[in-house]
Amino acid sequence: MTKLIHTMVRVSNLTESINFYRAALVLDIKDQYVFDNFTLTYLANPQTGFELELTYNHNQSEQYTHGNGYGHIAVTVEDIEQAHQRMTSLNIEASDIKTLAHNQIHLATFFFITDPDGYKIEFLQRQGRYL
């Protein structure tokens, strides 16, 4: 049986990205490994064992592209309204809160933010399949 352990994104400014994820998702550095050409930083919080790996390539000068296959990272929160207000108070632009139904049954309540490198992050109300 497999176990999901982390998602990796490449970042152009490691300090800015760490600060963003610390503020927006309340993630802290769990481990960090500095190599000659790159740094791997693992972020997590006590809520989950899943980690976000930030890869910073020291000599990368070109912006990364996401192509058309990347979607988003998703997190759940107890109170979607409070989370949305928190993003606004941090001066992080958040989309409007939206709902999604399937076969006329409420499926999700959510909004999106974007990190400094353009990666989308979905905030979902913790309910139903999104516990």
Least confident of 35-39, 65-69, 71-75, 78-82: 65-69
Q: 114 and 80, same structural domain?
A: yes
Residue partners of 78: CB distance under 8 A and separation at least 6: 126
What's the number of domains the chain is made of?
Answer: 2
For residue 63, tell me if it sits in a domain. Answer: no
Give the model confidence (pLDDT) of 60-69 as tens digits: 999 899 888 8
For residue 29, tell me if it sits in a domain. Answer: yes
Pairwise CA distance, residues 98 & 119, whole Å? 19
Taking every pair of Cα atoms in the chain, the longest distance, rounded to a whole number of angstroms, is 54
For residue 35, tell me if it sits in a domain. Answer: yes
Radius of gyration of the chain (CA): 16
What residues make up the domain containing 123? Answer: 71-131
Q: Which of 58, 82, 106 is at the close of a domain?
A: 58
Out of 51, 53, 81, 122, the active site residue is 122
Instruction: Specify whether 81 is catalytic.
Output: no
Average pLDDT of the residues in 28-55: 96
Q: 81 and 28, same structural domain?
A: no
Q: 43 and 80, same structural domain?
A: no
- pTM score, two decimals? 0.92
Sheet containing 48-57, strands listed edge to edge, beginning at the edge strand earlier in sequence:
6-10, 48-57, 38-45, 28-34
**Domain at 53, CATH number:** 3.10.180.10
Looking at residue 85, what is its pLDDT?
98
For residue 30, tell me if it sits in a domain. Answer: yes
Percent of the chain with pLDDT over 70: 100
